[in-house]
Amino acid sequence: MKKILITALLLISFGTFAQNVKDKQAILNLLEKQRADWNRGDVEAYMQGYLKSDSLLFVGKSGPTYGWQKTLDNYKKGYPDKSAMGFLVFGIKKVDFLKPDLAFVLGSWNVKREKDELKGYFTLLIKKVKGEWKVIVDHSS
């Protein structure tokens, strides 16, 4: 009986681990797609990584912004063209699962432009919604 219980626990643990590996890769793929979209100068495509909802929360140097459209409008205002957007690089420090459908991501960002360079850190809450991982909270500094 004890062997059966241990085997069952190991199988459950392995299943959870395998799912976490798959979901972590999906999250990393999402962030990589966003990075590539940004570097093409396509803010609209970049924003597809965010949950298209009024509940989306973006916190930056100007404080909190609520809503997908308002966040997009702010990005367009701050980065009006490809030159202003520069070349983005992410440094992902950690991806931790808080629940099976909710992850915390910590990373750094760096934007190199012709005349300057911007950099900082971000924390994200990413939620699995209808089978897709989407950013629901972004705090970038």
Question: Residue 8: pLDDT band by 50, 70, 90 thresholds?
Answer: very low
* Residue written as token pair 């999402």: 30
Both tokens of 64, joined, read 């909190």
Residues 6+ positions from 120 with CB-CB distance below 8 Å: 108, 109, 140, 141
Please give the helix or strand (H or E) that residue 105 lies within, else none: strand 102-112
Taking the C-alpha atoms of residue 75 and residue 65, their distance in angstroms, rounded to an integer, is 11
Task: Tell me the sheet residues that pair with 140.
Answer: 122
pLDDT tens per residue across span 68-106: 999 999 999 999 999 999 999 999 999 999 999 999 999
Q: At residue 9, does pLDDT exceed 90?
A: no
CB 36 within 8 A of CB 88: no
pLDDT tens per residue across span 10-40: 444 545 556 789 999 999 999 999 999 999 9
In the three-class reduction of DSSP (H, G, I as helix; E, B as strand; rest coil), residue 54 is classed as coil
Buried b (16+ CB within 10 A) or exposed e, 54-83: eebbbebeeeebeebeebbeebeeebeeee
Taking the C-alpha atoms of residue 63 and residue 38, their distance in angstroms, rounded to an integer, is 22
Question: Residue 2: pLDDT band by 50, 70, 90 thresholds?
Answer: low
Both tokens of 58, joined, read 């973006």
Q: Which of 18-22, 61-65, 94-98, 119-123 bottoms out in mean pLDDT, i.e. has the lowest?
A: 18-22
Q: At residue 62, does pLDDT exceed 80?
A: yes
Q: What is the pLDDT of residue 54?
A: 98
**Domains, in order of start, for the chain:** 2-140 (3.10.450.50)
What percent of the chain is predicted at pLDDT more than 70? 87
